Amino acid sequence: MSVIQRDGAFYTGEYRNLFKEHGYSEEEIRTRLEQAWADLFYGNPDVRIYYPMGDDKGYILDTGNLDVRTEGMSYGMMMAVQMNKKEEFDRLWNFSKTYMQHKEGRYKDYFAWHCRPDGTRISQGPAPDGEEYYAMALLFASNRWGDGPEPYNYSEQARTILRACVHQGDNGEGDPMWDPETKLIKFVPEAPFSDPSYHLPHFYELFALQADERDRAFWKEAAEASRAYLHAACHPETGLSPEYANYDGTPAEPQRHGDFRHFFSDAYRVAANIGLDWEWFRKDPWQVEQSNRIQAFFRDIDVADYRRYTIDGKPFDEPALHPIGLLATNAMASLAADGPDASHFVRLLWNTPLRTGVRRYYDNCLYFFCLLALSGNYRIYR
């Protein structure tokens, strides 16, 4: 099945509904999406990941680690704005703002990357993938619902985060989240390397329209730099990328907390990000070839047999922690792929339920984003 050749959704306002293209009815698709939301936010204990807290807060629980992470909180906010669920969005944002965002010091306006469900911080340091999702979700909220009183003045909250991401350290305290020289996102502010799955050029294109005026050129350059970076980080034959990579795209050296030179959990998101960038902007034809490559690599591997891999495709004797998440990102690559495997992954995702049990959090976040994207409901609000 060949990709419909047209400009990206940013220019046309039209979003592909791959499920509909594969014969599923609009009613089936809407029901599936709404049921997944209900299951994740209000469903049975072995499925749900969202928990209201008091009168005005709520959190997304990493069920495998029993903590609350900026990754999950910002993901939950993006899910909520896409689904037009303002109450859940505001609860997640209020929890994040109250317990996770730094008010002063070297991390001012950044967010402590994880805390306990009662809001007690476990670590003070930030993780930049949370900040970029917070900022994008807040801008979408502003454009969809309008700004309200603080802390629901969404657009100003987003600009505050983006300002810190670029300018932290200008006064001599702290570090920015993007490397000023390469315009590439860092793994953490102090790190001299990146994480390929953090690269969201489709977000940076939109930041360039709504960030502080002085930073708009930076965000345009960051979008171009990230697209070029992914060419280097993804293996030219398998399409696999490492979890952590240097600014030249080569796998980063092992860290004290582990060896992240291989294709494992973080890296799954690269395929999804590339697919969504193609759907929204269609600026880099390489993304079509890359999506075909990674789908071809996984086409004949059963989901139950997904493993850790070297980026040149050698499997480890270690199963994937998040096989449903990997399936979801492989399916989301179908937004860009025009090869023979695109239909296979769309149908396989449709026929696969949400994950249950202890490890469900990460898998089901990626699964829900895939449902949004493949149904034409992962949209730009501006």
Q: The domain containing residue 244 runs over which residues? A: 1-43+234-382
Of the listed ranges 111-115, 192-196, 257-261, the one predicted with least confidence: 257-261
Write the CATH number for 246.
1.50.10.10
- Which H/E stretch holds residue 161? helix 154-167
Residue type, 40: L
Residue 239: pLDDT over 80:
yes
CA–CA distance, 207 with 177 (Å, rounded to integer): 15
pLDDT (0 to 100) of residue 6:
62
Strand locations in 20-129 (E): 50-53, 57-60, 68-69, 114-115, 121-123
Residue 209: how many other CB atoms lie within 10 Å: 12
Residue 3: pLDDT over 60:
no
Q: Which residue has the tokens 């994008």?
A: 136
pLDDT (0 to 100) of residue 256:
79
* Residue 211 phi, psi dihedral angles, 5° rounding: -70, 175
Asked if residue 286 belongs to a domain, the reply is yes
CA–CA distance, 163 with 167 (Å, rounded to integer): 6
**Domain count along the chain:** 1
Quote the percentage of the chain above a pLDDT of 70.
Answer: 98
pLDDT (0 to 100) of residue 208:
98
Q: Which of 266, 277, 284, 363 is catalytic?
A: 266
CA–CA distance, 190 with 345 (Å, rounded to integer): 38
Nearest CA to 224 out of 269, 174, 286 is that of: 286
**Is the separation of the CB atoms in 99 and 83 below 8 Å?**
no
Active site residue 71: yes
Nearest CA to 154 out of 220, 82, 55, 86 is that of: 86
Residue 4: pLDDT over 70:
no
Length of the chain: 382
Token pair for 54: 């008091």
pTM for this model (two decimals): 0.97
Asked if residue 259 belongs to a domain, the reply is yes
pLDDT (0 to 100) of residue 257:
82
User: Which DSSP state fits 244?
Assistant: S
360-374 vs 70-82: helix crossing angle, rounded to 10: 30
- Torsion, Cα 242 244 246 247, to 10 degrees, reads 100
Q: In this predicted model, what pLDDT tens digit does every residue of 161-219 receive, in sequence order?
A: 999 999 999 999 999 999 999 999 999 999 999 999 999 999 999 999 999 999 999 99
Q: In this predicted model, what pLDDT tens digit does every residue of 44-86 receive, in sequence order?
A: 999 999 999 999 999 999 999 999 999 999 999 999 999 999 9
Sign of the dihedral defined by the CA atoms of residues 369, 372, 376, 377, in that order:
negative
Average pLDDT over residues 137-141: 99
Q: Which of 71, 129, 341, 363 is catalytic?
A: 71
Asked if residue 256 belongs to a domain, the reply is yes
Average pLDDT over residues 28-36: 98
Asked if residue 282 belongs to a domain, the reply is yes
Cis peptide bond N-terminal to 251, omega within 30: no
Cis peptide bond N-terminal to 151, omega within 30: yes
Asked if residue 84 belongs to a domain, the reply is no
Quote the percentage of the chain above a pLDDT of 90.
Answer: 97
CA–CA distance, 362 with 55 (Å, rounded to integer): 27
CA–CA distance, 174 with 156 (Å, rounded to integer): 22
Asked if residue 89 belongs to a domain, the reply is no
Interacting residues of 282 by C-beta distance below 8 A, sequence separation 6+: 6, 7, 8
Average pLDDT across the chain, whole number: 97
Asked if residue 71 belongs to a domain, the reply is no
DSSP per residue over 299-339, as a string? TTS-GGG-EEE-TTSPEEEEE-S-HHHHHHHHHHGGGT--S
